[in-house]
Amino acid sequence: MRSKRRSSPEIELTPLVDVVFQLIIFFVLTAAFVQGSITVSLPEGTGQPVSQTPLVINVDQNGEIFVNDEKAEIPKAVGLAREVVSKGRPILLAGDKRTPYEAIVRVLNALKEGGIDEISLAVGGGDKGTP
């Protein structure tokens, strides 16, 4: 009696490792780019462009405050705003159109109490649909 030996099929792992490596790179890069952005949908309106590079204070739809894309509490935002104003740069307050009005007023009041009198409000591009 002859025994039949079957050779087991071999799976080539090199292409699989290449694909997994590329997927890891894709997800790492995607996470890095998504992490640094804050989406604020500005209300429509008209206004004048700011002459210098402003300090941007964003208030998102949840009422959270971001200073130049970094999350901050009100005292930190006011401190940074004081530093910028002392150097002659303007302050730009951008509130999402879905932000509760109370959150915007709270930031404006804190800036006013911090001695900052001139604050520009960011508005969307009107009919163009771009902020």
Task: Tell me the domain boundaries of the chain.
Answer: 55-128
CATH number attached to the domain at 55-128 = 3.30.420.270
Q: Which residue has the higher pLDDT, 67 or 35?
A: 67
Burial class (CB in 10 A: 0-12, 13-18, 19+), 119: middle
Give the pLDDT band of residue 76 (cuts 50, 70, 90).
Answer: very high
pTM score, two decimals? 0.56
Output DSSP code: residue 63. S
Query: What are the distances in angstroms from CA 1 to CA 4, 5, 8, 119?
Result: 9, 13, 22, 95
* Region of residue 14 (left: phi > 0; alpha: psi -120 to 50; beta: else): alpha
Q: Which residue has the higher pLDDT, 44 or 76?
A: 76
pLDDT at 65 over 80: yes
